[in-house]
Structure 1
Amino acid sequence: MIKHRLLGSLLVASLWSGSSLAETVSVDLISPATCVPGGGRLAHCTVATRLLEGTDFKTAVPLRTVFQRVVSGNCSTRYPLEVTLTPEGNSSTRYIYISEAQTVVRGANQRLLTRIELKDSSSWTPYASFADSCRISLNIQWNQVDVDSAAQASAILSRLQADLATKVAHRDALSNLVEYSSAFSFMRTLSNSLLTELNNEMMLFLREQAKESGDTVFKATLPCECDPTIQDCSGALNDTEKIGLANLYFALGVLGDNSNYLRPDGTPMTLEEYIGASPGGGTARDIIAKLSLRTTPEVLAQYQAQLLVASALVKEAQDHLLLARQQLSAWIPLP
């Protein structure tokens, strides 16, 4: 009989609502399983301490667990019988079940609860006596959506949307930092190598050759009869070949003239001399140097790492909002 009383009875039913699991568990407090029957009475009752365990699942909305008293038969008593409910890691709630129809237990920040200790906290339980028809149990409705109106549901969605917008803005700012940092690094490299490449021996040679051969190339593009020095036009270029040669002639202009890159004494210009001063003062190289100081390879790597984290947080917030819409569909229908 003692073993029978300690075990009591535990009935479990699982009901799905939207995307969240609303699990209901029934626990006997006063019944022949927890008391000693005799003489038409139930006496020497024992409410054993037990750890109640709910199902863990993903949620994006606040939750509450409801303990509801279920009474049948004659359960009249003068004793204020109660139990204490203690969620894991949270403060306790006293529930005087003999007189209160229900109580609500919430986790910190209304988070999902999976473990609640139920403990008899009344010293009167062993002395209480009931008619043998008395049955008292608790229906435990685990992790209900903690919402009672469409307005409350809308407020939750608004908070999640604002959180997503904040995370998107942060991700986009980091994305811009990565782009700017990469661009500054490129400009620094450009400022260090541009003039060197423009003044190398090959470029100087090409400009001189282009300058010397330009007139000859131009003449070759003209019709044969336009050149009085040519007596025999056999083997002259056809129109297609002349167009191609004309394109080469005009492309040679891109090389420019060495006088644009050299001082009068023939020595190479500095980048400052070549680019010149900006309208606001200072050379373009100074401006590029100032911008490039804002980044280093280490800073760029840091921005890239932060961008990966921020992108993951945006994805998480998007999933969170989608799940919340599903969980709150009873108040706000899905579009």
Structure 2
Amino acid sequence: MNTRIAGAACALLMAPAAYAADVVDLISPARCELRFNRLVNCHINPQQLSTPTAETAVPLKTALRSVVSGNCSTQYTLEARAEAAGASPALIPYLRGTEVLLRGPGGAPVGNLTLSDNSTWTPSAVLDGSCRISLEVRWNEVDVVSTAEAQALITALDAQIATAQDHSDRMEELMLYQRAYAFMHSLADRFRVELSNPTMQELRAAALESTPALESMVLSCGDLSIEERLALLRLHAELWVLGKPEDWQRPDGTVMTLEDHLGTGAAEILARLNAILARQTQNPPDYAQLYEDAKTEVIRLQNKKLLALTQLDPWLP
């Protein structure tokens, strides 16, 4: 399946069509004692609220809105407290019919919260029997209020995708370089070893020693045919490619290394490359796996953008 199509399908499946909501009584006969048409001795005992959560590509907020009806006047300041793991507590002055927001860490969805009383005066308050206060909990709404905010989130995701793509390209280059350098270094050193072994050195010395004899045979040996003379001439002409034994030796007579052949101009570069290889021999980075991981991250971010576009659709032009 095409990656983008799969990502779009995933985004549509995971983006909620509507936000879940719970309603909790704060002040009612269920929370208080009803005496002479008055609500007294009210208690808001701690309770746990929870909702299923799904992956999100944008920051979310949970809205807590108090809904007030009837006569709820009192001289006391009453409020409730909502807490969720990793989030700053939300204080709810529920007598005013207000709305406060609870945000998970980094805009993550909130799946559980604890609702409790945050006022010591609640049991002392005397409220009219008509007073009813409930708390509406709208879970995990998109934390965006304007088109500009929505577009800024998409722009940020585009920047993350570009950075991840650059990293993926870099890992691919390093993977190919690692393979190519290791191969070429091994190949070059193999040729050097083969071309400087004792047999080749003996062959070079023998070629130099035989040169006068070959020249004499080509020029003055009357027993040779024209074809034989031409064959010897071709052999003599090709022997120069072997070079001299000293061309493959250091002044002290030891065999030259690859660094010696490349010369002083390349020595520093080769030393750095060999140092890299030495480190890799001890703990070699697996650039092939790093490249696969980088590609996976690019796909993850692209799918995240598709999900974000779905979640932000009401705010995008």
TM-superposed deviation, 1:99: 1.9
Check 1:97–1:274 CA distance in 2 against 1; reply closer, same or farther (3 A cut).
Answer: closer
Q: Find the aligned partners of 2:46 and 2:88 in 1 and give their Cα distance.
A: 17
State the partner residue of 2:75: 78
TM-superposed deviation, 1:301: 3.3
Check 1:18–1:149 CA distance in 2 against 1; reply closer, same or farther (3 A cut).
Answer: farther
Counting matched residue pairs gives: 265
Q: Find the aligned partners of 1:23 and 1:133 in 2 and give their Cα distance.
A: 28
Structure 1 unaligned regions, length at least 5:
1-15, 205-252
| Secondary structure in structure 2 of the residue aligned to 1:98 | helix
Check 1:273–1:160 CA distance in 2 against 1; reply closer, same or farther (3 A cut).
Answer: closer
Quick check: 1:314 aligned with 2:298? yes
Length-normalised TM-score, structure 2? 0.71
Q: Find the aligned partners of 1:87 and 1:274 in 2 and give their Cα distance.
A: 65
State the partner residue of 1:13: none
State the partner residue of 1:65: 62
TM-superposed deviation, 1:161: 1.2
TM-superposed deviation, 1:194: 2.0
State the partner residue of 2:147: 150
Q: Find the aligned partners of 1:45 and 1:59 in 2 and give their Cα distance.
A: 39
Q: After the TM superposition, which residues 214-229 of structure 1 pair with which residues of structure 2 at under 5 Å, given as runs?
A: none
Give identity over the alignment, percent. Answer: 34
| Secondary structure in structure 1 of the residue aligned to 2:303 | helix
Give the partner amino acid of 1:323: L
Structure 2 unaligned regions, length at least 5:
1-11, 204-233, 250-254
State the partner residue of 1:109: 106
TM-superposed deviation, 1:311: 3.0
State the partner residue of 1:123: 120
Quick check: 1:19 aligned with 2:1? no
Check 1:272–1:260 CA distance in 2 against 1; reply closer, same or farther (3 A cut).
Answer: farther
TM-superposed deviation, 1:284: 6.9
Query: Are the equivalent residues in 2 in contact too, given 1:277–1:283 (CA < 8 A)?
Result: no
TM-superposed deviation, 1:312: 3.1
State the partner residue of 1:227: none
Give the partner amino acid of 2:276: R
Query: Are the equivalent residues in 2 in contact too, given 1:45–1:125 (CA < 8 A)?
Result: yes
Q: Find the aligned partners of 1:288 and 1:257 in 2 and give their Cα distance.
A: 32
Check 1:312–1:297 CA distance in 2 against 1; reply closer, same or farther (3 A cut).
Answer: farther
TM-superposed deviation, 1:186: 1.1
Query: Are the equivalent residues in 1 in contact too, given 2:14–2:54 (CA < 8 A)?
Result: no
State the partner residue of 1:43: 40
Q: Find the aligned partners of 1:290 and 1:122 in 2 and give their Cα distance.
A: 69
Length-normalised TM-score, structure 1? 0.68
State the partner residue of 1:163: 160
Check 1:132–1:286 CA distance in 2 against 1; reply closer, same or farther (3 A cut).
Answer: closer
TM-superposed deviation, 1:97: 0.9
Give the partner amino acid of 2:41: H
State the partner residue of 2:175: 178
TM-superposed deviation, 1:288: 5.4
Q: After the TM superposition, which residues 282-297 of structure 1 pair with which residues of structure 2 at under 5 Å, given as runs?
A: 282=264, 291-295=273-277, 296-297=280-281
Query: Are the equivalent residues in 2 in contact too, given 1:272–1:283 (CA < 8 A)?
Result: no
Q: Find the aligned partners of 2:287 and 2:185 in 1 and give their Cα distance.
A: 18
Quick check: 1:303 aligned with 2:280? no
Give the partner amino acid of 2:158: Q
Q: Find the aligned partners of 2:27 and 2:100 in 1 and give their Cα distance.
A: 18
By percentage of residues, which structure has more helix?
Answer: 2
Check 1:178–1:113 CA distance in 2 against 1; reply closer, same or farther (3 A cut).
Answer: same
Query: Are the equivalent residues in 2 in contact too, given 1:88–1:117 (CA < 8 A)?
Result: no
Check 1:288–1:306 CA distance in 2 against 1; reply closer, same or farther (3 A cut).
Answer: same
Q: Find the aligned partners of 2:53 and 2:67 in 1 and give their Cα distance.
A: 26
Give the partner amino acid of 1:294: I
TM-superposed deviation, 1:195: 4.2
Computed over aligned residues only, the root mean square deviation of the Cα atoms, in angstroms, reads: 3.5
TM-superposed deviation, 1:144: 0.6
Give the partner amino acid of 2:15: S
Query: Are the equivalent residues in 1 in contact too, given 2:74–2:126 (CA < 8 A)?
Result: yes
Structure with the bigger RCO (C-alpha within 8 Å, sep 6+) is 2
